[in-house]
Amino acid sequence: MNLARLAAYATDRRLVYGWRRRYVPWVLDITDPHDPRFTPHGSHEDVPYVRRSGKGSAPRPGCDTLDYLIGRHHDAWTDQLRRFAEHDDGPGARAARTALDAGILTSLVPPPSSKPSDLVVLRASGQLIHQDPGLARFWEAQLRTGLDAGLHGVCLCCAGTAAPLARLVPAYLPPSAFRQNGAGDLALYPASKNRPGTSPVPVCLDCACALGAALPDLAGRPDHHHRTQEGTLLLWWGLDGAGDFPLGALLTHPDPAALAAAPTSGRLCAMLLKPATGRIALTWFLDEPTRTVLDRIRHWYDTTGVYDGWSDTIRLTGIPSMHHQLGRWNPRTRTYQHLSPTTPPESGLWTAALSGHLPHQHARAALTATRRDNRVSTGRTALLQLCSASAHGAR
């Protein structure tokens, strides 16, 4: 059950839903309630985040865009700040209350050369308000209220019974996660078409929050994801004590020493995602003991290692490089170019290596590329060896 495995990643690591690492160009200092000041901030921060869709307002406390602070969503933004100021008594809430009571937040002037979409964090007495523990509690409560379907039932993720169910599964990624442009987030479990705003899978509030936290976290960690040449996203994570398994590094930068030192305990999960008409499609899933996956990676290198007679060594090629060598060889620049639209996808090599299946398409493509360019290379030979391994009945 891949839902439960993904939720377990968030639960194990105590990830919190509703936060995302983003670039924040501005800070608004409200220490002096009569003289609020915008100054450049220019840093990446974990800030409150909720998906916005449609025309309605969905403010985010402590850090939002200039459009929310000053523009058309200003009322929704100040209403939320007021609710936070009234629900909490920490330093962040007190500073917000003072600024709201002084009326200074209604007459802000945007900083020069800023854009409405620029993010702004609030700061008072040297403390960033989005880092206030009271604000985190307020934001969590607000998100759970927004997700609550008002129903109880069986959760398809944790199998809990009589659990409060979520309206939808808030597992989203931005299009940039797939090398695409565009602003709106894509949903892994999009709301039901028949009943908009409701989930196609009944999931409890806890699991919905866990799934919403897990997906962007994995996609944001370089040691937990790989974006393939064709723009699919491979995510992986360890459970049951597997820790941070270096899956991407092992298959990108072949190193027998790293393979020998890789952890062997626990289970490994991986999933392959691709964008599909405004949503995210799950196209492949792995959930196996770490030891099994390691055996397959060893077998992959045993099969694709190419003997170099000059140096009397075995040369290993990482998957991205192997795939790149399916492109057309340019003898002038001595580089590979132009992967044609019919080139089998890089993701096929990852799923082949991890599942132990042979990528016949890629071996055929290597043969075609070798004939076309009249050039053989280590990566192409590696793929051809996969083909002959298949002919000899290897697994």
Q: What are the angstrom distances between the C-alpha of 52 and each of 68, 183, 187?
A: 12, 10, 12
Min dist CB 266 to Zn ion, Å, is 22
Q: What are the angstrom distances between the C-alpha of 329 and each of 276, 332, 375, 377?
A: 32, 9, 8, 10
Give the integer Cα–Cα distance in Å for 350 and 212.
25
Q: Which is nearer to Zn ion, 96 or 204 (CB)?
A: 204
Min dist CB 51 to Zn ion, Å, is 20
Q: Got the DSSP string for 152-177?
A: EE--TTT--SSEEEESS---EE-GGG
Min dist CB 2 to Zn ion, Å, is 14
Q: How many CB atoms lie within 10 A of CB 86?
A: 13
Min dist CB 1 to Zn ion, Å, is 11
Min dist CB 360 to Zn ion, Å, is 40
- Site for Zn ion, rule CB under 5 A: 155, 157-158, 160, 204, 207
Paired tokens of 66 = 């200039």
Min dist CB 206 to Zn ion, Å, is 5
Q: Which is nearer to Zn ion, 207 or 242 (CB)?
A: 207
Nearest to 242 by CA among 203, 269, 217, 223: 269
Burial 221-249, CB ≥16 within 10 A → b, else e: eeebbbbbbbbbbbbbbbbeebeebbbbb
Q: Which is nearer to Zn ion, 1 or 141 (CB)?
A: 1
Give the integer Cα–Cα distance in Å for 96 and 81.
7
Residue with tokens 């992967």: 339
Q: Which is nearer to Zn ion, 160 or 174 (CB)?
A: 160
- Which DSSP symbol is given to 131? G
Min dist CB 234 to Zn ion, Å, is 26
Length of the chain: 395
The answer to whether the CB of 388 falls within 8 A of the CB of 305 is: no
Q: Which is nearer to Zn ion, 24 or 204 (CB)?
A: 204
Give the integer Cα–Cα distance in Å for 253 and 119.
37
Paired tokens of 25 = 């160009």
Min dist CB 157 to Zn ion, Å, is 4
Q: Which is nearer to Zn ion, 148 or 295 (CB)?
A: 148
Q: Which is nearer to Zn ion, 1 or 391 (CB)?
A: 1
Element (H, E) at 2: helix 2-12
Q: Which is nearer to Zn ion, 157 or 286 (CB)?
A: 157
